[in-house]
Chain A
Amino acid sequence: MLEKVKDWSDEFYESFKPIAMGFVNEAEKCLQCGKCTGQCPAAAVTPSYNPRKIIRDLVFGNVKRVLSSVELWQCFFCSGCYSVCPMDINFPFFVFMFRLAAMNEGYGWEDVKQLEGYAEKSYLKDGITVSTFERNPYVLDTVGDIGKIRAEAGLPPERKVSARGVAEINMISDLSGMTAFMKQIGGVELLDCKSCTDEQAKRCKRKPMPSKVGKVKTHYRFYNYGEPGGKKHAQAG
């Protein structure tokens, strides 16, 4: 038995609805038809991921099983489930709100930690989320200098967002509580690859999970919906 009686909560779904801001239609309308799972690209490669089961657990109030699961973080956000759903349930938005709830409980930080650079180093600093920086040396060999290619295409060598634009999104970030949220996450160390020491390089590849984020103690997640899927695990088993 994975779940205990005390993990179940009738209030969870009711308390969850207002935060979802009307983006998600009522989950209690779910027919459990499983069309979502049938066409899901994530379920195709990892059978333990099952949107139908996650919706059922939300409506029945089996909160802990959802929030502490690895499966919650395996969604591809392709919206295919929404496009086939006969009851128009926007499941990807549920996943989005669920992930925030799970982070509040201390789950999933090992994933979020890898991504914070996109917000702090790129989006808030330059106004552009994906920078010209190339991590893969083979791509770098093939493509070379992207500024030169841009110039050949008749564009300015570097796309720049004006100082006013960057200042404005930083102001939005301050006013809407995003900066406070980033501080809670802990921010990132700004490393430069040219002046990077060996010890920093070791950390650079994969950031470890912090033991605490703000006041929340972090936990590792579980495969709550069955055996982990994927080729890697299939070969091991």
Chain B
Amino acid sequence: MPRLDKVAQIPKPEQIFFFKSCVASNKYPGIEACGTESLRLLGVEPVESEEQTCCGGFVTFANVAAPTASMPAVARNLSLAEEKNLDTCVVCNGCWTFLNEFGHFMNHNEEVKASVNMMLNMMGRSYEGSGQVFHIAELFYRLKDDIAKKVKRPLAGVRAATHYGCHYLGGGKYSAIDDAQMPSYMEELIELMGGTVVPYTANRECCGTGFTQIINGKDLSLEHTQRKLDSVREADPDLLIVQCPYCHSQLDRVQQQLNFRQGTDYQTPVLHIAQLVGMALGVPEGKLAFAAHISGRKRLEEVWDRVGR
């Protein structure tokens, strides 16, 4: 059950700073295109900036960048939104935790903030800590009444399963809008758009990327993802809805790898929540960029036929 008091605190902005994610831009461009487009349809104008870099969370937690560099890198990205007097909207759980937690830490530690600002002042920027960071799924949940009114392609007969991703609910257990163990806002959104929710056993399990384990401990990572995919296949949904591009890439790509390595036949299309909302709101087919998806293409076509292009 979502924390409704927290949801009520989320503003309904006219403009928002759209923070681009590395995986969403370079592997699954549909997430980025649909994120901006569906926000626009809901009456929120996304503002982008070319000066925005990656959040830097991956290199920090992979221990290849000194941890001291992460605070100023976060402050710099947040200051871009502050310059325009906007809140930030992210599409990735990783970006959300990293910007949110480190921003929160700086706001409550004056010394750290002062030393970060010393660095930023050299490049003509400054960090105040006035803006907030929202996940795009939070915004969708806040704007759910508008979504219900504006559905153009009802998802009738589409059976969807959900995967929330660890870094949103687990990493931010006090700042997320839902409970870490029994979340339900994504299910609510799916039903609102006319779809059917399919429960499965391993819903709360991690996708198995394990941050760097997909690179360094590949056998562990694949084994865990296979457990998750087995459970998904048992429930047999038409779509698996995620809210993090990194989970998206793992669950989508590992299906092909397992099919190749072990002769299994996993074919479940994986969609980001921004793409699903975009689909329901009637975003043109090209913008969903399903050509970048690897697994379950045939099934995706069937869903398209049911929903109507």
Contact = CB atoms under 8 A, between A and B. Distances in A.
A130 B22 contact: yes
Contacts of A149: 29, 289, 291-292
A123 B173 contact: no
A79 B289 contact: no
Contacts of B264: none
Interface stretch (A4-12, A172-180, A191-199, A208-216): A172-180
Contact of B56 (A100, A129, A166): A129
Contact of B210 (A76, A118, A159, A168): A76
B205 A41 contact: yes
Contacts of A232: 219
Given A129-B56, A139-B256, A142-B256, A99 B63 contact: yes
Given A82-B173, A150-B29, A171-B123, A118 B59 contact: yes
Contact of A103 (B23, B63, B288): B63
Size category of the B interface is: 35 or more
B213 A165 contact: no
Contacts of A108: 63
Given A115-B62, A115-B64, A79 B223 contact: no
A46 B227 CA distance: 13
B9 interface: no
18 contacts: A21-B105, A22-B105, A41-B206, A76-B213, A80-B166, A83-B181, A84-B180, A115-B59, A128-B26, A129-B54, A136-B257, A139-B253, A153-B33, A159-B20, A169-B76, A173-B65, A177-B68, A231-B219
Interface of A: 21-23, 41-42, 44-46, 73-80, 82-84, 92, 96, 99-100, 103, 108, 111-112, 114-116, 118-120, 123, 127-132, 136, 138-139, 142-144, 146, 149-150, 152-155, 159-162, 164-166, 168-169, 171-173, 175-178, 180-182, 185, 230-232
